[in-house]
Amino acid sequence: MKTTNNKPIVLITAGPTREAIDPVRFISNHSSGKMGYAIAGAFLDKGFEVILVSGPVNISLSHTSLRVIPVNSADEMYTACQKYFPVAQITIFAAAVADYKPAQVYTQKMKKSAHEFSLQMVKNVDIAFEFGKIKRNDQVSVGFALETNDEEQNALKKLYSKNLDLIVLNSVKDEAATFGYDTNKITIINRDFQFQAFPLKSKAEVAVDIVTAAIKVGQKQEQ
């Protein structure tokens, strides 16, 4: 699937999501968006048209072939992706999507009371899982798995349940490979159970490894 300027399209989700509690409060996570943005940069270098659906981050990236779509919540991220997924040759799910959201969003700022307060949470849409259900044979999808235990087993479960072509396993054993750092240590796993382990590298270098692996899957599909 190509754009009018004949460039292949990649859809990337990046950054955290924010799940509103009331107009001034939200639940979120520490994702910096650095990995997703680095992947966007690497795809731009390879001549792709990049659609970057991004949660709130402190990074700015601009390029004539880049469209950044800023979103807050997981629901907004999912809706924004729906328009582009069908035309994307490759989709990279790099966002740290909040797994839960408050069951109700208060329309007015909640007031402090004399009592304790608890929040009921409901499950968010699993964006990668939903698109996995409608992915075509000519599309490539890549997900991430950040694990603390049973790493490979958990990553493989995600690879198959979300119908991904590749899963990028992030080990949090190494502090320099977690949120906010400029470095990352990954293993890329494909559906043939092949594990490609990389040393600790800059996120820009890791991005090139991920992009190269994703493009390779696409080329195999074409054969």
Rounded to 10 degrees, the C-alpha dihedral 16/173/168/132 comes to -60
Q: From the list 45, 99, 138, 174, which residue makes contact with ligand CTP (rule: CB under 6 A)? A: 99
| Residues with active-site annotation | 29
159 or 215, CB closer to ligand CTP?
159
Collect all residues with Cβ–Cβ distance below 8 Å to 104 and sequence separation of at least 6: 120
Question: Does residue number 74 form part of the binding site for ligand CTP (CB under 6 A)?
Answer: yes
Question: Does residue number 210 form part of the binding site for ligand CTP (CB under 6 A)?
Answer: no
Pick from 36, 15, 57: nearest CA to 168: 36
24 or 174, CB closer to ligand CTP?
174
Question: Does residue number 73 form part of the binding site for ligand CTP (CB under 6 A)?
Answer: no
Question: Does residue number 150 form part of the binding site for ligand CTP (CB under 6 A)?
Answer: no
Pick from 183, 221, 213: nearest CA to 43: 213
Question: Does residue number 203 form part of the binding site for ligand CTP (CB under 6 A)?
Answer: no
DSSP 51-78: EEEE-S-S-----TTEEEEE--SHHHHH
Question: Does residue number 174 form part of the binding site for Ca ion (CB under 5 A)?
Answer: no
18 or 158, CB closer to ligand CTP?
158
Query: Which helix (H) or strand (E) covers residue 142, if one does?
Result: strand 140-147
Pick from 118, 109, 121: nearest CA to 24: 109
> How many binding residues for ligand CTP (CB under 6 A)?
16
Q: From the list 50, 144, 165, 213, which residue makes contact with ligand CTP (rule: CB under 6 A)? A: 144
Question: Does residue number 16 form part of the binding site for ligand CTP (CB under 6 A)?
Answer: no
Q: How far apart are the first and last CA of the chain?
A: 16
Q: From the list 67, 86, 99, 160, which residue makes contact with Ca ion (rule: CB under 5 A)? A: 99
Q: Which residues bind Ca ion (CB under 5 A)?
A: 99
